[in-house]
């Protein structure tokens, strides 16, 4: 029962930012067209286009991260193509085989702290076409990355540029999964803006579910990337009848910079926790600057910590260590952080 423990399990444990609830309430009985043809969705699209400085971008709203990933990826790829992604990528390890369920192989690359290298993508594609047997292998058609990554790390603008350049040279679409994008944008040293993403990626998502909305992912794509995309979304059961609910949420997130502000709290609390972790002599497994914290400790310490704190055990490091993951969010409360810090301090005596 997580209820009694203070939880740092994930960033989808609370509902939505109060402004979202209030706006849903205010607009509730207005009648609108369905399936995203309402004025709230249109207004949200306008706001997002402005924030991205991407007047021609096409914007679609979907409900869920896995849904958005599999609908976008399968719509972009041709039948005979696979998607290049990190071995640690969400689509490879957390989405129940949803990409393969649409008929496509994930072509995995090794990663560095969750990131793949432009040079590895280049090499993969060149070796693929150099192979006399490539007719017997799915062709690379797209590169999938996430920003922040599943390890909470960030691509720099320089790294993203290189990836984008390789993708264009090699005729691959570049997709950036921004399920936790608010936490990237809120990191003070982050230098990848929404404008950069609009220019360097062919399609990217702006996560709502983990960043203050009840749910929802906004997919931003360059014009004409996928003809009839609304029909494809519909066919996959992913077109919300009351699209207005997505519209109102994203309109709210992109009004008065709420999306970025929301991310800030998660970073601040994560920084506080990271400081204490270092102070107590624990090792950060990955040096991530966002809201995901990976700490190495002994199994005994992890067991002790789990008495009052809920979290995920990420990996075992034999013989006796483990990596645990702690997650903050837009809604993390001060007293939750206090409880965690106290428990961390106690662990040194274990």
Q: How many residues make contact with a copy of itself (CB under 8 A)? A: 80
Q: Which of 41, 86, 138, 164 binds a copy of itself (CB under 8 A)?
A: 138
- The single residue listed with the structure tokens 């005979």 is 80
309 binds a copy of itself (CB under 8 A): no
Cβ nearer to a copy of itself, comparing 232 with 341: 232
Cβ count within 10 A of residue 28: 10
- Least separation in angstroms between residue 231's CB and a copy of itself is 4
Q: How far apart are alpha carbons 8 and 250 in whole angstroms?
A: 25
* Residue 244 per-residue DSSP state: H
Q: Which of 13, 42, 120, 271 binds a copy of itself (CB under 8 A)?
A: 13
- Least separation in angstroms between residue 50's CB and a copy of itself is 23
- Least separation in angstroms between residue 248's CB and a copy of itself is 9
Residues in 49-68 at the binding interface with a copy of itself, rule: CB under 8 A: 63-68
Cβ nearer to a copy of itself, comparing 137 with 303: 137
Q: How far apart are alpha carbons 243 and 44 in whole angstroms?
A: 11
User: x/- string (CB under 8 A) for a copy of itself, residues 267-306?
Assistant: ----------------------------------------
Cβ count within 10 A of residue 57: 19
- Cα(first)–Cα(last) distance of the chain, in Å? 24
4 binds a copy of itself (CB under 8 A): no
CB 247 within 8 A of CB 213: no
- Least separation in angstroms between residue 317's CB and a copy of itself is 15
* Residue 30 per-residue DSSP state: S
Cβ nearer to a copy of itself, comparing 109 with 200: 109
Residues in 217-256 at the binding interface with a copy of itself, rule: CB under 8 A: 227-228, 230-232, 234-242, 244-245
165 binds a copy of itself (CB under 8 A): no
Q: How far apart are alpha carbons 329 and 211 in whole angstroms?
A: 7
- Least separation in angstroms between residue 79's CB and a copy of itself is 6
Q: Is 140 exposed, middle or buried (0-12, 13-18, 19+ CB in 10 A)?
A: buried
Q: Which of 19, 43, 46, 98 binds a copy of itself (CB under 8 A)?
A: 98
Q: Looking at beta carbons, which pairs linking 336-342 to residues 24 or more positions away fall under 8 Å?
A: 336/6, 336/7, 336/8, 337/269, 337/272, 337/273, 339/6, 339/308, 339/309, 340/6, 340/8, 340/273, 340/309, 341/272, 341/273, 341/276
93 binds a copy of itself (CB under 8 A): yes
User: x/- string (CB under 8 A) for a copy of itself, residues 176-205?
Assistant: ------------------------------
Q: Which of 135, 189, 318, 319 binds a copy of itself (CB under 8 A)?
A: 135
3 binds a copy of itself (CB under 8 A): yes
> DSSP secondary structure string, 56-115?
T-EEEEES-HHHHHHHHHHHHS-TTEEEEEETT-HHHHTSTTHHHHTT--EEEE--BTTB
Lookup: tokens for 117:
């290298």
21 binds a copy of itself (CB under 8 A): yes
Q: Which of 19, 35, 117, 280 binds a copy of itself (CB under 8 A)?
A: 35
Cβ nearer to a copy of itself, comparing 163 with 326: 326
Window of 78-86, 113-121, 253-261, 341-349 that interacts with a copy of itself by CB under 8 A: 78-86
125 binds a copy of itself (CB under 8 A): no
């Amino acid at each position: 029962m997580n209820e009694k423990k203070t939880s740092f399990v994930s960033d989808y444990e609370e509902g939505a930012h109060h402004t979202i609830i209030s706006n849903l309430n205010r607009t509730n009985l207005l009648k609108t067209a369905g399936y995203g043809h309402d004025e709230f969705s249109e207004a949200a699209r306008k706001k997002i286009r402005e924030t991205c400085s991407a007047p021609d971008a096409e914007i679609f709203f979907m409900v869920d991260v896995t849904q958005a990933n599999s609908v976008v990826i399968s719509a972009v790829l041709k039948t005979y193509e696979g998607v290049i992604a990190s071995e640690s990528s969400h689509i490879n390890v957390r989405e129940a085989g949803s990409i393969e369920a649409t008929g496509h192989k994930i072509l995995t690359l090794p990663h560095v702290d969750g990131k793949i290298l432009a040079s590895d993508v280049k090499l993969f594609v060149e070796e693929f076409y150099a192979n006399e047997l490539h007719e017997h292998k799915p062709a690379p058609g797209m590169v999938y990355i996430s920003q922040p990554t599943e390890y909470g790390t960030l691509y720099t603008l320089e790294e993203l540029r290189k990836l984008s350049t390789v993708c264009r040279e090699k005729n691959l679409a570049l997709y950036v999964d921004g399920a936790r994008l608010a936490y990237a944008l809120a990191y003070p040293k982050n230098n990848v803006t929404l404008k950069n993403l609009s220019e360097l990626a062919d399609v990217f998502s702006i996560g709502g579910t983990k960043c203050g909305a009840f749910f929802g992912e906004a997919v931003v794509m360059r014009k004409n990337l996928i003809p009839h995309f609304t029909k494809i979304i519909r066919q996959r059961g992913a077109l919300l009848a009351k699209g207005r609910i997505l519209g109102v949420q994203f309109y709210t997130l992109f009004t008065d910079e709420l999306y970025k502000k929301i991310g800030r709290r998660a970073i601040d609390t994560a920084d506080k926790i990271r400081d204490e972790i270092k102070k107590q002599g624990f090792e950060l497994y990955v040096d991530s600057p966002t809201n995901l914290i990976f700490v190495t400790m002994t199994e005994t310490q992890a067991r002790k910590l789990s008495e009052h704190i809920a979290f995920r055990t990420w990996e075992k490091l034999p013989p006796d260590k483990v990596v645990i993951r702690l997650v903050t969010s837009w809604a993390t409360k001060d007293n939750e952080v206090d409880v965690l810090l106290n428990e961390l301090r106690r662990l040194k005596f274990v």
